């Protein structure tokens, strides 16, 4: 008896169980009632086509193919055909995902996705080999070493990017604005991602950089804010989410909660009941409401980054600055099949507090500031009063030193410079308003 005849002779529930493994449990309820109901539920014609293809491959392919491999490939293909983010996680990929969210993993240090059969760089992770080598958000990878990636699965591509620390991999990328593909040599390393970084900028402005949303990001952010507060009174905060590819949903909620004391943060909607969730802010805010916030985003800000930017924008808690974000508005759930295998399945869409879906659209900034290379004009050798012979000295004030740090920021990070300028301006307005209020309330002498 041929495989096709064997499969046809099976009962319908058993047939589905053989072909689709544990994914079809919800379909069996209809099968227990009647053939008519089952016929509406089970696509018998497509299953016959599947068995026909399976048998042709078994009998006619140039080399023998293992049954288990064919069925695993079929499962992998089912998930790959849904959307760019659903995937079948084999042992290595499942382990990589778990270590990725914990903050330590091996590889190049880039977040990637599938696009038209090629690998698109969503964002290089800070302080990783890929970023140091010059990989940029939006790069389209067409070759990994000598292997073209067109038609290659995402899991297979990621596997090729992994390797022994210290070994090299040549990425051939197509980049917008470049006439021909670029070859970028990246040296593999153990990637240890620091989730949150902080430093003080000019004028009491605190800078917080979240590179990725991991399990401990909420705690790391709290520690970073405490360090900033210990250093100086905060007149404003820059929250940098540029090139942040996302990560754990719960971490995004905790970050929003640090800046919000009430209101909705995000909600999700899907087909199953447990995919519909709502997250609200608590009163345990870490930054006072009177401290202005600027959130920096760019085309590499995705997923959890967009949840944070969208929530703070809808709640009018922050000014969003930069360029349109990536536009990933879906939620992936990890569904274990065995101890070593799992499904990463898109189960819901998420929405900002005002009901916006950013799927394939992204967060639109309140103030558009593109990344730019700024060349400062030579101010020339202009003569000032202090250069004149015999000028009167200022007894109370010293000549201000030029701010080399700000000049450097203009040239190296124009978007951050603009965010800093905005927060400085808001601080000046706030101080002037307070002075007017004090003057108005003062009694005449």
Separation CA 378–CA 72 (nearest Å): 64
Residue whose C-alpha is closest to residue 72's, from 55, 95, 54, 84: 54
Q: Burial-class residue 318 by CB neighbours within 10 Å (0-12, 13-18, 19+).
A: buried
Task: Give me the residue label for tokens 């599947």.
Answer: 50
Q: Are strands 104-107 and 118-124 parallel, antiparallel or unpaired?
A: unpaired
Q: List Cα–Cα distances, 409 to 201, 202, 232, 319, 376, in angstroms.
A: 10, 11, 21, 20, 11
Q: Burial-class residue 303 by CB neighbours within 10 Å (0-12, 13-18, 19+).
A: buried
The reply to whether 328 belongs to the active site is yes
The reply to whether 314 belongs to the active site is yes
**Catalytic, out of 257, 325, 328, 413:** 328
Q: List Cα–Cα distances, 110 to 210, 300, 334, 370, 439, in angstroms.
A: 15, 11, 21, 22, 55
What is the enclosing helix (H) or strand (E) of 16? helix 12-20
Q: 120 — phi, psi (to 5°)? A: -100, 130
Encoded tokens for 361? 């659209």
Separation CA 261–CA 313 (nearest Å): 14
**Catalytic, out of 86, 303, 305, 325:** 303
- Reduce the DSSP state of residue 50 to 3 states and report it: helix
The reply to whether 431 belongs to the active site is no
Q: CB under 8 Å to 221, separation ≥6 — which residues?
A: 195, 196, 208, 210, 254, 255, 258, 286
Q: CB under 8 Å to 191, separation ≥6 — which residues?
A: 104, 105, 106, 107, 108, 109, 125, 128, 129
- Reduce the DSSP state of residue 336 to 3 states and report it: strand
Encoded tokens for 124? 């290089």
Q: Tell me the DSSP string of 89-125.
A: E-HHHHHHHHHHHHTEEEE--EEEEEETTEEEEEEEP
Q: CB under 8 Å to 273, separation ≥6 — which residues?
A: none
Phi/psi region, residue 263 (left: phi>0; alpha: psi -120 to 50; beta: rest), is left
**Catalytic, out of 126, 139, 257, 314:** 314
Burial 212-229 (b: 16+ CB within 10 A, else e): bbbebbbebbbebbeebe
Separation CA 316–CA 310 (nearest Å): 10
Residues recognised as catalytic: 303, 314, 328
């Amino acid at each position: 008896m041929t495989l096709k005849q064997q499969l046809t002779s099976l009962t319908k529930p058993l047939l589905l169980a053989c072909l689709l493994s544990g994914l079809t449990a919800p379909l069996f309820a209809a099968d227990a009632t009647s053939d008519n109901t089952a016929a509406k539920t089970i696509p018998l014609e497509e299953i016959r086509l599947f068995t026909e293809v399976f048998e042709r491959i078994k009998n006619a392919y140039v080399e023998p193919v293992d049954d288990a491999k064919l069925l695993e490939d079929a499962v992998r293909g089912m998930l790959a055909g849904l959307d760019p983010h659903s995937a079948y996680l084999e042992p290595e990929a499942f382990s990589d995902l778990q270590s990725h969210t914990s903050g330590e993993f091996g590889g190049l240090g880039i977040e990637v996705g599938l696009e038209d059969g090629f690998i698109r760089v969503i964002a290089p992770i800070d302080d990783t080999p890929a970023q140091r080598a010059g990989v940029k958000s939006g790069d389209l990878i067409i070759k990994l070493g000598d292997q073209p990636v067109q038609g290659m699965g995402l899991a297979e591509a990621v596997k090729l990017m992994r390797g022994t620390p210290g070994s090299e991999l040549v990425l051939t990328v197509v980049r917008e604005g470049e006439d021909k593909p670029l070859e970028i040599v990246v040296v593999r390393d153990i990637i240890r991602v620091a989730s949150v970084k902080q430093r003080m900028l000019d004028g009491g402005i605190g800078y917080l950089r979240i590179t990725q949303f991991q399990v401990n990001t909420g705690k790391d952010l709290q520690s970073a804010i405490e360090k900033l507060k210990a250093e100086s009174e905060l007149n404003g905060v820059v929250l940098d989410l540029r090139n942040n590819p996302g990560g754990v949903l719960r971490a995004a909620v905790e970050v929003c909660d640090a800046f919000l004391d009430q209101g909705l943060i995000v909600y999700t909607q899907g087909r199953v009941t447990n995919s519909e969730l709502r997250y609200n802010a608590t009163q345990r805010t870490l930054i006072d409401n009177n401290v202005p916030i600027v959130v920096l985003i760019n085309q590499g800000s995705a997923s959890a980054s967009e949840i944070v930017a969208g929530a703070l924008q809808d709640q009018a808690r922050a000014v969003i600055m930069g360029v349109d974000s990536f536009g990933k508005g879906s939620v992936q759930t990890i569904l274990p099949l065995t101890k070593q295998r799992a499904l990463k399945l898109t189960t819901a869409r998420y929405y900002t507090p005002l009901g916006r879906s950013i799927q394939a659209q992204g967060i639109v900034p309140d103030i558009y500031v593109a990344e730019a290379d700024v060349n400062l004009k030579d101010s020339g050798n202009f003569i000032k009063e202090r250069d004149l012979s015999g000028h009167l000295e200022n007894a109370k004030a010293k000549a201000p030193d030029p701010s080399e740090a700000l000049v450097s920021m203009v040239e190296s990070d124009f978007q951050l410079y603009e965010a800093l300028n905005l927060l400085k301006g808001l601080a000046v307005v706030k101080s002037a308003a307070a002075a007017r209020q004090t003057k108005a309330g003062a009694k005449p002498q």
